Amino acid sequence: MGLPDGGLLALLIGGSLVAGWIDAVVGGGGLVLIPLMLIVFPTIPPATAFGTNKLAAIWGTATAAFMYLRKVDVDRRMVAVSVPIAGGCAVIGALAASAVSSDVMRPFVIVLMVTVGAFVAFRPQFGATHESSEPVSRTRFAIALGMLGVIGFYDGVFGPGTGMFLIITLTALLHQSFLQSAAMAKVANTATNVGALIVFASQGHVMWLLGAILALANVAGSVLGSRLVLGRGTAIVRYALLAVVVVMAVKLSIDQFA
């Protein structure tokens, strides 16, 4: 399938820039770009929109990961191990996606998002700074790795809120700030995007030329979003996370009951 006309292509490029900004700050850019692609190309399978979005998102998320890791002190062990675990589980999830109904997944995700949002809203110190100077126990480290696998699988199967779930999980288990968790989350999310893209590409569900163009815009948005977070710190991540919870919960509820 070729490129859309100039005005529609400009709309997609603008959407990819905004999506890159959102993904760099907290995650959830797919909620912008995927619906736009389905509007511009109403006859394509949803899987093609998902696959093309992954191609664009990989580059933006990888750019954010690079920028964060240059400025933020994180556990390099977790960063290194998260890539094969999250990416491999995303491949498994994408392969299993056809067997899992979105209508079954949405209610659980909505409840989980609202619970996470309430927890963050009523614990203002959560994620603000290091909660403890004590080393992370092996048990917590192992649980965090297991949760990375679970979230990676979820990203392959369904996806909405992956970045947010990564940030909350890493913050809670590793006793670190939202900013540190966001840096780790970008690495893990890049791996899950690559894993899912491998499956979509093998099934022929990627518009490569369009995806490459959108990737450039996604990177530009990611640079802007990353600079904002690195300049403003954990507070902006907290506010963005709460905003994404509200928007995603509303969007998924509409999809479920419309």
55-64 pLDDT, tens digit each: 999 999 999 9
The answer to the question of residue 1 being in a domain is no
* Tens-digit pLDDT profile for residues 62-97: 999 999 999 998 888 889 999 999 999 999 998 887
C-alpha to C-alpha distances, 178 to 73, 152, 164, 191, 228, nearest whole angstrom: 12, 19, 10, 20, 14
Domain count, the chain: 1
Q: pTM score, two decimals?
A: 0.86
Query: Residue 159 is part of which domain span?
Result: 6-257
Angle between helix 162-174 and helix 178-202 axes, rounded to 10 deg: 140
Closest by CA to 136, choosing from 76, 178, 196, is 76
Does 68 map to a domain? yes
Tokens of 77: 């062990």
Ramachandran region of residue 204, left (φ > 0), alpha (ψ -120 to 50) or beta?
left
Rounded CA separation 24/68 (Å): 9
Backbone angles phi, psi at 74, to 5 degrees: -130, 170
Domain membership of residue 168 (yes or no) is yes
Cβ 203 vs Cβ 48: under 8 Å: no
**Which amino acid type is present at position 193?**
N
Summarised one tens digit per residue, pLDDT across range 233-255 is 878 888 888 888 888 888 888 87
Is 111 within a domain? yes
